[in-house]
Each structure stands twice: as structure tokens, then as C-alpha cells.
Amino acid sequence: MATSLAEQPVLKMSAPDLRSDLDLSIEETMRLLRLAIDMKRDPAHYATALQGRSLSLLFEKPSLRTRLTFELAIQQLGGYAVTSIGMIGDREPLKDVARNLDRWTQGIVARVFAQATIEGLAEWSRVPVINALSDMFHPCQALADVQTVLERFGRFDGLKLAYIGDGNNMAHSLLLTAGRLGMQVAVAAPEGYQPDAGVLAMAREAGVQFTITADPAEAAEGAHAVYTDVWASMGQEAEAEERKRIFAPYQVNDALMARAAGDSIFLHCLPAKRGQEVTDSVMESAQSAIFDQAENRLHAQKALLLMLLK
């Protein structure tokens, strides 16, 4: 009889931190996904896997899914989390914050405005640092996304993911995670809002098959997963009205979903502005996998913590 993965040794990540999606190799990502699915199926086997370990959660941006899923993840593995909300390094240098936290806890999770904050924490900390969102990457969300795809389709090869909207941190992480796992990635974004050229160069160097277009219909054609995100992220509130005008043709609606494959799913990292980037009918459709994604944040992050902190 096959044994649970819980009965096998958990191999530690080769990188000390998760600063970006590229810190996980393709092999490590697949191992993490298999572990996440096993933890989801059989959580009792892992209930004491990180007993006595503690985790610092730092938030410069408000959070529902990130905060609760990381707090629950470490608790369900036998550890505990301490949470701090506010600007990191506002009252004291970032390097001092990092060197305090690494004396008290075994890992640092940070949801920040700037990627430079993640890099600074990782540079000065002796314990693993996890990027729980920055302006450049959202690797934890991408892991939950590809877990959702794997659960639905059982594979990545031969699948197409269409990302429609702002070429932001979410688009970057999907290119680097879903793309390296073998999915073809098509990004549809208006001129001036397409993914960062440096990230596209990273994806190209990693062998990702992707297309960048200004036409959402072209991107969605034959897609197995259609993905979108809010048009104005936190910190872009002053641009919200202008972005609504520019991105209006990029709304994911029933007509756009009809261009996707017959067994396609709809994905959104949430929170969503229903009626803006996506219609309520798509959010509530049988194709919608948004709450599977949200649930999988918990399981993917449990696997990540185990691979970093075990």
C-alpha cells in the first residue's frame, strides 16, 4: 500500500527564502504541490510537523486571505504566529527589524509595497523570509493557483492560461510559476500596462512560452484558465477612475469566457471588484474556481512552510 507523503522525509528548499517565484525550482514546485495536495487530503499526519516553531507576519498592506491562511497554516502544523501591522522599518532601520525578528521567530512572512523591502529583510535575516506580496511578485498566490489548476486538470502540459488586465505582480508570478511548469501563458493588457520588461526577460530565459497582446479575445481563445485581477491595486487609488476607462474593454464576462476551452475555469486572486474587471455572472458561474484558489492558499502555504522551516 502506498504510504502518505507525511511518512517520507520533507526535502528542504535549496533557496533559503522565497523572495520571488524563481527561488523555487520546477522540481521543488512540483514537490511542493504534491505535498500541498497530500496535506489537504490528510491534515492529521502533519498536525505536529512544526511544533514549537513560530512565524513573524508583517503587513504593510491590509489582508484577509494572506493573514488568515498563514496564521492557520502555522497553527495547523503545531506552531504559532505573531502579527505586526504597519510600515516596516518606519520606526527603525529595516536591518534592525530583521535582526530582531530572527532572534525570536523561525521565519518571516512579509506583505509589502516594495520588493526592495523583501530583499532587505532577506539580506539581514538569518531565518527564511517569505514574500507574501510585493509590487513585483505574488508567489504564494501563484502556488495556490497552480495547485487549483493541477487539481482540476491533472497536468500542466498542453494547457493555456490567459491573464486579462493589468500586467502587475500577479501577471509576473503567473508567468514565472505557471509558465515554468509548462503552461502556455497569454497576457492581454493595454499598452503602457503590460508586464515589466525585466520579468519578461526572466520568463524568456526560463523557457516560458508566452505571448503579450493588447487583445483580450486573442488571449482568451482556447484558454483552459482565464485569470484576472483588480484594475487598481492598493497604492493606485488616485489612478482608479482613469484605469476604469482604460481597462473597460478587458472585463472578463460571459462573451470572453465563451472564447475559452469548453472545460475552462475562471480564476481571480481576490478581492474582486464585481462589475469592473469581472462580471458577477462569471464569478458565480460553474466555471468559477475562485474559492478553490482561496482555500488552496492555506494548503500551498503549509507545504511551503514545511519545506522552509522543517
Higher pLDDT, 235 or 211: 211
Q: Note the pLDDT of residue 277.
A: 98
Enclosing domain of residue 55: 5-137+297-309
Decide: 183 and 207 in contact? Cβ < 8 Å.
no
Residues β-bridged to residue 187 = 163, 212
Q: Note the pLDDT of residue 1.
A: 38
Candidates 260, 36, 21; CA nearest to 159 is 260
The domain that holds 85 is classified in CATH as: 3.40.50.1370
| Percent of the chain's residues with pLDDT above 90 | 92
- Coil, strand or helix at 84: strand
Structurally, how many domains does the chain consist of? Answer: 2
| CA–CA dist 251, 240 (Å, integer) | 15
Question: Does the N-terminal peptide bond of residue 195 adopt cis geometry, omega within 30 degrees of 0?
Answer: no
pLDDT digits (tens, 9 = 90+) for 54-75: 999 999 998 999 999 999 999 9
Angle between helices 197-205 and 169-177 (to 10 degrees): 10
Asked if 158 and 280 sit in the same domain, the reply is yes
pLDDT digits (tens, 9 = 90+) for 195-218: 999 999 999 999 999 999 999 999
Asked if 182 and 203 sit in the same domain, the reply is yes
What are the catalytic residues?
Answer: 111, 138, 141, 229, 269, 297
Q: Is the pLDDT of residue 3 over 60?
A: no
| CA–CA dist 58, 110 (Å, integer) | 5
The DSSP call for residue 114 is -
Q: Which cell numbers hold the place of 243?
A: 484605469
pLDDT digits (tens, 9 = 90+) for 79-130: 999 999 999 988 899 999 999 999 999 999 999 999 999 999 999 999 999 9
Q: What is the mean pLDDT of residues 185-196?
A: 98
Q: Is the pLDDT of residue 298 over 60?
A: yes
> pLDDT band at 6, cuts 50/70/90?
low
Helix residue ranges, H only, 21-93:
26-41, 65-76
- Coil, strand or helix at 174: helix
Asked if 129 and 206 sit in the same domain, the reply is no
| CA–CA dist 310, 297 (Å, integer) | 19
> pLDDT band at 7, cuts 50/70/90?
low
Asked if 283 and 148 sit in the same domain, the reply is yes
User: What sign results for the dihedral spanned by CA atoms 50, 296, 136, 91?
Assistant: negative
Q: What is the mean pLDDT of residues 124-151?
A: 98
Asked if 273 and 305 sit in the same domain, the reply is no
- Coil, strand or helix at 89: coil
Q: Note the pLDDT of residue 2.
A: 43
